[in-house]
Chain A
């Protein structure tokens, strides 16, 4: 057997009829029994490369300009379609990013794996089913028998990804490609999946091509690293060397722009700064002493928001089948003016329900919330109107939260018209300047902007009414790390300039720690822990917080 499992040489490829190349001159190789991580942000070409290796891009519209892809010493580009199909699944397998949509919703999980075995191996139905059950046990699905007979929607996200992995390793492939396999999952689940992949890779002596945007994950799993940017390889080498001693400014920027765990710079460095495109930010560290002093002075004022015993229950069914779910239960906290309160928890913990209750988008079942001394639930329409003006929400998905058929100007003017702001046109221009977008953006439509730019527009829309209180619901989760740093800096700049108060919701504890003065940890609708940010992170009291901290990749 060849030592090299996958060898890509000088690969240039693209889409469509114009000569736009998505990747240029990519070369790397993965040895048997080795894990190579391909790191890059969206648009870096990492997925295109792996999909070409699998032969999963329909050509046309995709095309390969030049280069070689060799699997086990054999050039796969010379094979015909039927021969490539037989390689897929049997010798090279792939795990995708979205376990929710990557499994067929109308077929049982067991069958979807079994089908793969019967396609590639001479095996009876009974043997195949037994083998699937074994595989399910191997990927540590809690109840293999039940998972076998379940449809994908009956399993959790992490369980679905385990089914995907079981499927991928079913025929003991020599090469496993994992394309952002943990990005859509909760941190604690991410940790488990990474450990599982690492374990399986060593156990089966597979070559693992691990694609990710997260350098923290790379440190956990990879032997070798390839860093890609805009379709080109900028740096590659041994994982220790790359992470501790990167030579390319882009890699250095990528490493630096993640919020550090143990210190708190005034602003986060950005990738652009390392590439010399913008002047460096003020990254002086704030000392723990100063921070405590600031927090103390903040807490002298009367709280802006007081939440007491807030509970929201959903009831499904009637009579015997009645099922009561506490989305949030007995949540109590307060937020002082000028403070950033971090809210951490995994999916389903009630973060979003809480933020919606606070903005009176849904009615709480019990408990009260007071904003500026007024009970939010009992406001009359005039007071509610002024409350809506001073409390704003920034959503997670900048692609879904802008109307695709409205120009940016209309999107901004609409809110201002509703609340009767003077000279909305002038204000719109000011806002663009504020969030660092060119003035001509106003005439354009959302699809003309990148994710980071769209999030800036959403921020501008939230700022339009000069609010004093903003809830950021996972506002940076959908963004690339380098863009995330820019948006976090922008949020902090605006906070300083206008004395804003934030509730910053995220699943990413290191981002929350960087942003917040105090942190509220939620789990299954309950408050697990609430306290000063640094103290909570260094000496966590609850077991759940400890688990969250331990799950941070690279920590």
Chain B
């Protein structure tokens, strides 16, 4: 078991190294960041001073080695104080170090260097941004899991029924809507259109209720089960209600078209972060701001989870052991939740973990649109300003998160399915 985790970790480190290398060279070969940092008419001396400060005067290869040495937990340093390899205890958080000749070998926390712009430590910048993204992604994925699995189960149980078809339509929309578009849409509807109390025509609901009660009455007379055909009737009622309302508005029958529900407004603002800055109280936790971005971020995994759960569950329901469970006389709910779902969840877990990792990384658009202070927004700003250390730092952190989540997923399979439990 331990061996398995170690081999996975080694593999993960190799992946990290590859990612760091690729990203480092892509950005180093680009423009000269110094030009962005200084005023337009600065002298060469000023520029050179800045270059030296950030090691930008060194050739790319050496800068790369220096960076690797900085982020490696075990690193080699010079004892010479003026060397760029000097182990400065003020910068690095060193756990232990050993002197070997003129070199120091140190065990330290990875050092992600400093931002070119603010000169703050990148670790600190990311440390500030990460909780925002973490909370956002976590809430979004929990929302997606709970709602997604429930809708998926409902769809599977009503295969080809109304719920199933509606879920399919919504899933296709959710999967195909690009996140920046969805973000703008959600912000517009939730934070603007529906900000204040809104009225919605009541006719579709009225017609729906009428049709359903007619159906219930019919089913009682014919002795059919109570639920037979109600789905179709309610949809029919809804559509007729919408048609009625459109007709009434078109014919300017005000007293008919004004019959409406009054929905209380959401009161959510279009932008905002986990913490608002209040002039008097300083930082204030504002959980309301979480709703719209989390909803947006959760839509796509939600759509995927719905379809995966549905298909996987349908397949499992065909298995022999489900027939055994029926032969045991178990209640349908026990069959689904205890016997079927546990078997059906494996592909769903893969999807969830994959999405969760990429949500941590890919919340860029959503964070940007909602002005949510998180890793994505920070990376976006850093990219715009050629702030290489911050970009690199984000990349390292995001890649590490991917690696860790993948290992956790592998372990989770074992918990759910004993057949893949790793022996020894």
Query: Within residues 322 to 342 of chain B, which ones have a CB less than 8 A from any CB in chain A?
Result: 323-331, 334, 338-339, 342
Interface residues on A, range: 20 to 34
Contacting residue for B343 out of A88, A93, A106, A119, CB 8 A: A106
Task: Name the A residues within 8 Å of B323 (CB-CB).
Answer: 56, 96, 102
A362 CB within 8 Å of chain B: no
Distance of A90 Cα from B343 Cα, bound (Å) = 26
Q: Is the CB of B320 within 8 A of A106?
A: no
Within the complex, the shortest CB–CB distance from A382 to chain B, in Å, comes to 43
Q: Is the CB of B329 within 8 A of A119?
A: yes
Task: Name the B residues within 8 Å of A96 (CB-CB).
Answer: 320, 323-324, 327
Query: Within residues 83 to 103 of chain A, which ones have a CB less than 8 A from any CB in chain B?
Result: 85-90, 93-94, 96, 98, 101-103
**A89-B327 contact given A101-B319, A101-B320, A101-B321, CB 8 Å threshold:** yes
Query: Within residues 44 to 102 of chain A, which ones have a CB less than 8 A from any CB in chain B?
Result: 54, 56, 85-90, 93-94, 96, 98, 101-102
Distance of A247 Cα from B416 Cα, bound (Å) = 56
Distance of A321 Cα from B331 Cα, bound (Å) = 44
Task: Name the B residues within 8 Å of A106 (CB-CB).
Answer: 342-343, 416-419
Chain B interface, number of residues (Cβ within 8 angstroms): 22
Distance of A107 Cα from B416 Cα, bound (Å) = 10
Q: Is the CB of A85 within 8 A of B331?
A: yes
B221 CB within 8 Å of chain A: no
Q: Is the CB of A105 within 8 A of B329?
A: no
Distance of A40 Cα from B417 Cα, bound (Å) = 38
Contacting residue for A119 out of B324, B331, B419, CB 8 A: B331
Task: Name the B residues within 8 Å of A103 (CB-CB).
Answer: 321, 324
Contacting residue for B329 out of A87, A98, A101, A104, CB 8 A: A87
Q: Is the CB of A153 within 8 A of B419?
A: yes
Task: Name the B residues within 8 Å of A94 (CB-CB).
Answer: 327
Q: Is the CB of B328 within 8 A of A105?
A: no
**A93-B327 contact given A101-B319, A106-B343, A107-B339, CB 8 Å threshold:** yes
Q: Is the CB of B339 within 8 A of A90?
A: no
Return the chain A residue nearest B346 by Cβ.
A106
Q: Is the CB of B320 within 8 A of A102?
A: yes
Task: Name the B residues within 8 Å of A107 (CB-CB).
Answer: 338-339, 342
Q: Is the CB of A88 within 8 A of B328?
A: yes
Return the chain A residue nearest B322 by Cβ.
A104
Q: Is the CB of B321 within 8 A of A89?
A: no
Q: Is the CB of B417 within 8 A of A105?
A: yes
Q: Is the CB of B343 within 8 A of A105?
A: yes
Contacting residue for A120 out of B329, B418, B424, CB 8 A: B329
Task: Name the B residues within 8 Å of A526 (CB-CB).
Answer: none
Task: Name the A residues within 8 Å of B424 (CB-CB).
Answer: 317, 321
Task: Name the B residues within 8 Å of A153 (CB-CB).
Answer: 418-419
How many A-B pairs have beta carbons closer than 8 Å: the answer is 76
Distance of A175 Cα from B424 Cα, bound (Å) = 44
Within the complex, the shortest CB–CB distance from A358 to chain B, in Å, comes to 32
Within the complex, the shortest CB–CB distance from B369 to chain A, in Å, comes to 41
A196 CB within 8 Å of chain B: no
Return the chain A residue nearest B330 by Cβ.
A119
Task: Name the A residues within 8 Å of B325 (CB-CB).
Answer: 104
Task: Name the A residues within 8 Å of B320 (CB-CB).
Answer: 96, 98, 101-102
Query: Within residues 401 to 424 of chain B, which ones have a CB less than 8 A from any CB in chain A?
Result: 416-419, 424
Within the complex, the shortest CB–CB distance from B341 to chain A, in Å, comes to 10
Task: Name the A residues within 8 Å of B334 (CB-CB).
Answer: 115, 119
Within the complex, the shortest CB–CB distance from A548 to chain B, in Å, comes to 29
Task: Name the A residues within 8 Å of B321 (CB-CB).
Answer: 101-105
Task: Name the A residues within 8 Å of B342 (CB-CB).
Answer: 106-107
- The majority secondary structure among interface residues of chain B is helix
Return the chain B residue nearest A58 by Cβ.
B326
Return the chain B residue nearest A164 by Cβ.
B324
Q: Is the CB of A151 within 8 A of B328?
A: no
Q: Is the CB of A151 within 8 A of B418?
A: yes
A21 CB within 8 Å of chain B: no
Return the chain A residue nearest B418 by Cβ.
A151
Distance of A94 Cα from B320 Cα, bound (Å) = 12
Distance of A105 Cα from B419 Cα, bound (Å) = 7
Q: Is the CB of A104 within 8 A of B343?
A: yes
A110-131 CB mask vs B (1 if < 8 Å, else 0) is: 0000011001100000000000
Distance of A56 Cα from B320 Cα, bound (Å) = 12
Distance of A329 Cα from B205 Cα, bound (Å) = 76
Within the complex, the shortest CB–CB distance from A310 to chain B, in Å, comes to 30
Most buried by A among B319, B320, B328: B328
Query: Within residues 358 to 373 of chain B, which ones have a CB less than 8 A from any CB in chain A?
Result: none
Q: Is the CB of B418 within 8 A of A88?
A: no
Task: Name the B residues within 8 Å of A115 (CB-CB).
Answer: 328, 330, 334, 338
Distance of A301 Cα from B326 Cα, bound (Å) = 61
B284-327 CB mask vs A (1 if < 8 Å, else 0) is: 00000000000000000000000000000000000111011111
Within the complex, the shortest CB–CB distance from A85 to chain B, in Å, comes to 5
Distance of A120 Cα from B328 Cα, bound (Å) = 9
Task: Name the A residues within 8 Å of B331 (CB-CB).
Answer: 85, 119
Task: Name the B residues within 8 Å of A89 (CB-CB).
Answer: 327-330
A167 CB within 8 Å of chain B: yes
Distance of A117 Cα from B343 Cα, bound (Å) = 22
Most buried by B among A87, A93, A105, A317: A105
Distance of A90 Cα from B328 Cα, bound (Å) = 8
Within the complex, the shortest CB–CB distance from B417 to chain A, in Å, comes to 6
Distance of A41 Cα from B36 Cα, bound (Å) = 83
Distance of A98 Cα from B320 Cα, bound (Å) = 8
Task: Name the A residues within 8 Å of B339 (CB-CB).
Answer: 104, 107
Task: Name the B residues within 8 Å of A105 (CB-CB).
Answer: 321, 343, 417-419
Distance of A88 Cα from B327 Cα, bound (Å) = 6
Task: Name the B residues within 8 Å of A90 (CB-CB).
Answer: 329
Within the complex, the shortest CB–CB distance from A166 to chain B, in Å, comes to 12
Within the complex, the shortest CB–CB distance from B161 to chain A, in Å, comes to 14
Return the chain B residue nearest A117 by Cβ.
B328
Task: Name the A residues within 8 Å of B327 (CB-CB).
Answer: 54, 56, 88-89, 93-94, 96
Distance of A105 Cα from B340 Cα, bound (Å) = 11
Return the chain B residue nearest A89 by Cβ.
B329
Distance of A403 Cα from B330 Cα, bound (Å) = 39
B112-127 CB mask vs A (1 if < 8 Å, else 0) is: 0000000000000000
Task: Name the B residues within 8 Å of A86 (CB-CB).
Answer: 329
Distance of A94 Cα from B323 Cα, bound (Å) = 10
Return the chain B residue nearest A321 by Cβ.
B424
Within the complex, the shortest CB–CB distance from B73 to chain A, in Å, comes to 28
Task: Name the B residues within 8 Å of A93 (CB-CB).
Answer: 327-328
Task: Name the A residues within 8 Å of B330 (CB-CB).
Answer: 85, 89, 115-116, 119
Sample of 22 A–B contacts (CB below 8 Å): A85-B330, A85-B331, A89-B328, A90-B329, A96-B323, A96-B327, A102-B323, A102-B324, A103-B321, A103-B324, A104-B325, A105-B417, A106-B416, A106-B418, A106-B419, A115-B328, A115-B334, A115-B338, A116-B328, A116-B330, A119-B328, A119-B331
Which 8 A/B pairs are nearest by Cβ-Cβ distance?
A89-B329, A88-B329, A101-B320, A104-B321, A89-B328, A151-B418, A94-B327, A116-B328
- A residues near B (Cβ < 8 Å) are 54, 56, 85-90, 93-94, 96, 98, 101-107, 115-116, 119-120, 151, 153, 164, 167, 317, 321
Inter-chain pairs besides A101-B319, A105-B321, A116-B328, 20 sampled, C-beta below 8 Å: A54-B327, A85-B331, A86-B329, A88-B328, A88-B329, A89-B330, A93-B327, A96-B327, A101-B320, A101-B321, A102-B320, A105-B419, A106-B342, A106-B343, A106-B416, A106-B417, A106-B418, A116-B329, A119-B329, A317-B424
